[in-house]
Structure 1
Amino acid sequence: MTGVRITHVGGPTTLIEVGEWRILTDPTFDPPGRRYAFGWGTSSTKLVGPAMPPEAIGRIDAVLLTHDHHGDNLDDAGRALLPSAGAVLTTVPGAARIGGGAVGLRPWSATLLEQPGRPTIEVTATPCRHGPPLSGPIVGAVIGFALRWTGQRHGVLWVSGDTVLHRGTRQVADRLRVGVALLHLGGVRFPVTGPLRYTLTARRAVRLCRVLRPHTVVPVHYEGWQHFREPRPAAERELAQVRENVRWLPLGAPVELDI
């Protein structure tokens, strides 16, 4: 088994299908128009709704939740799905807030997704820094996820999570061989903090890819919210420099990727 099917629902939300596994990342299904507070004077309005409603997703065997405390990564409709998921993997403080058996992971800790008749998937949490240096206590804990299963030819499937380029993301390049990289982009900024960035810009993503060298790059979480400051056309121009295969997935349609 070497393939994976990914459906980009919108924002950071993707459905990852591996064998019989159905894994959802950062569930966000609220309609557009609402303004969400992110803390410390920051907020943003959702501009675009999901490409498909939550009831169209079907069975969810696991949720990979990079963080629970920002509405663009977990909103009310997404939170309502969590009790029906087979497993919820997230940060340690996020698991404590969510409860209900959610599993908290620290960077570089791992757990297994196991079911009879399905490939075992090792899920390893990877480091994120969701803002400038020393911003961790303000922005809160965030993690990415690396998924490994038997039969991968090019490497793991890596979900970057909301992060800037920093030592932790470079550790991913040192420790892992990445087949498919789901990169959270958008170059997030807020008026109250001026030029400071809270997620990858495409230019920084290019720098990351030069050390990461993934087989396939899948941009996600780059538009649909007021606080995203680098729209897709600008990101496409930058990512044209990446020698690896860059796939901009159509919203709501499953795409088969080689991994």
Structure 2
Amino acid sequence: MIADEIKIKYIGGPTALFEVGGLSFLTDPTFDPKGSAYPTNIYTLHKLSDPAVKAGELAHIDFVLLSHDHHFDNLDNSGRSSLNEADQVITTPAGAERLGGNAIGLNNWQTIDIPTKDNRILTITGTPCRHGPVGGDRGPVTGFVLNFKGDTTGGVYITGDTVWYEGVEEVSKRFDIQIVVAFLGAAVVKAVGPAHLTMTVAEGVELARHFKNATIIPLHFEGWEHFTESRAEIEAGFKEAGLLSRLKWAN
């Protein structure tokens, strides 16, 4: 099972380094320093924390798993500059069209096969996301399921920026997942409305209940001004739900 051998290093925000089968995978690259600001016509995002490592300090990245390319807290300036150094970027079809070059897009439930360094085949499946409330989706966004071809157990699911909704529930029905890398933090950008754009603690608990065999590893819950629920609140919510043993923090 892929869940038994995958290694995960937390870098900050939505950014983590995964190693499996001799390959390296980087999620949503964000490497700009603390204090960076990102103005748009509607709002400005503010970064509050430095990454654990700088982009140039990482060894070669084989694949970037990019949930979406159009929000700075998932792809900041240094992260964008690093994309061309990877062998391939896997993202949404709209993102791949914008990025060009080494980027390819996955539709929901579409799969690609990747040969590993130890002569196995890793399957990556695109999964649905809704980046906000009904009628207020800030997407398109994709999540990812990773598994070895022919192995239907022990999958790893990276949610991407999504709220809890029927698309995420469908992932729990289609796959046997042992690790869920959950983008939490209950992101709220007041300039675009009061609704949360990523999962709340309560939605994270619901996620854990549906993925009943999975360890939940939070990402994307700190380091940016627009997150409204912290590590302490995530832990408290899982403890109250009797699910604290299912929660694990990436180092």
Percent identical residues? 39
Amino acid across the alignment from 2:215:
T
Q: CA deviation at 1:59?
A: 1.2
Corresponding residue SS for 2:6: strand
Alignment of 1:166 onto 2:168: no
TM norm structure 2 = 0.92
Q: CA deviation at 1:116?
A: 5.3
Q: After superposition, what is the alpha-carbon deviation per residue over 1:189-229, rounded to whole angstroms, capped at 9, x for unaligned?
A: 12234431100011111012111214211011101100000
Amino acid across the alignment from 2:97:
A
Choose which of 19, 22, 25 in structure 2 pairs with 1:23. 25
Aligned to 1:236: 235
Corresponding residue SS for 1:8: strand
Q: Comparing both chains, which one has the higher relative contact order based on Cα–Cα distances under 8 Å and sequence gaps of 6 or more?
A: 1
Aligned to 2:16: 14
Q: Quick check: 16-25 or 240-249, which moved more?
A: 240-249
Q: Please say if residues 130 and 199 of structure 1, whose CA atoms lie closer than 8 Å, have aligned partners that are also in contact.
A: yes
Equivalents in 1 of 2:203, 2:237: separation in Å?
A: 9
Equivalents in 2 of 1:154, 1:43: separation in Å?
A: 42
Amino acid across the alignment from 1:24:
L
Q: CA deviation at 1:150?
A: 5.6
Q: Please say if residues 38 and 70 of structure 1, whose CA atoms lie closer than 8 Å, have aligned partners that are also in contact.
A: no
Alignment of structure 1 residues 198-209 onto 2, 5 Å: 198-209=197-208
Aligned to 1:211: 210
Distance 1:87 1:193, change over 3 A: closer
Q: Please say if residues 67 and 143 of structure 2, whose CA atoms lie closer than 8 Å, have aligned partners that are also in contact.
A: yes
Amino acid across the alignment from 1:80:
S
Alignment of 1:224 onto 2:227: no
Alignment of 1:69 onto 2:102: no
Corresponding residue SS for 1:196: coil
Q: After superposition, what is the alpha-carbon deviation per residue over 1:107-156, rounded to whole angstroms, capped at 9, x for unaligned?
A: 111111125534311000000000110223xx231000000016969521
Equivalents in 2 of 1:116, 1:160: separation in Å?
A: 26
Corresponding residue SS for 1:15: strand
Q: Please say if residues 208 and 214 of structure 2, whose CA atoms lie closer than 8 Å, have aligned partners that are also in contact.
A: no
Q: Please say if residues 35 and 48 of structure 2, whose CA atoms lie closer than 8 Å, have aligned partners that are also in contact.
A: yes
Distance 1:216 1:151, change over 3 A: farther
Corresponding residue SS for 1:58: coil
Distance 1:151 1:233, change over 3 A: farther
Equivalents in 2 of 1:185, 1:52: separation in Å?
A: 22
Corresponding residue SS for 2:35: coil
Q: CA deviation at 1:53?
A: 1.0
TM norm structure 1 = 0.90
Q: CA deviation at 1:38?
A: 5.7
Q: Please say if residues 217 and 244 of structure 1, whose CA atoms lie closer than 8 Å, have aligned partners that are also in contact.
A: no
Matched length? 247
Q: Which runs of 5+ in 2 are unaligned?
A: none
Q: Quick check: 112-121 or 123-132, which moved more?
A: 112-121
Amino acid across the alignment from 2:198:
T
Aligned to 1:128: 129
Aligned to 2:43: 42
Equivalents in 1 of 2:40, 2:174: separation in Å?
A: 32
Distance 1:151 1:174, change over 3 A: closer
Aligned to 1:179: 178
Q: After superposition, what is the alpha-carbon deviation per residue over 1:21-78, rounded to whole angstroms, capped at 9, x for unaligned?
A: 1111111101111222466x23320000100111222010100000000111111111
Distance 1:224 1:116, change over 3 A: closer
Q: Please say if residues 131 and 196 of structure 1, whose CA atoms lie closer than 8 Å, have aligned partners that are also in contact.
A: yes
Amino acid across the alignment from 2:20:
V
Q: Please say if residues 125 and 143 of structure 1, whose CA atoms lie closer than 8 Å, have aligned partners that are also in contact.
A: yes
Distance 1:56 1:207, change over 3 A: same
Aligned to 1:257: none
Aligned to 1:5: 7
Aligned to 1:100: 101
Amino acid across the alignment from 1:229:
T
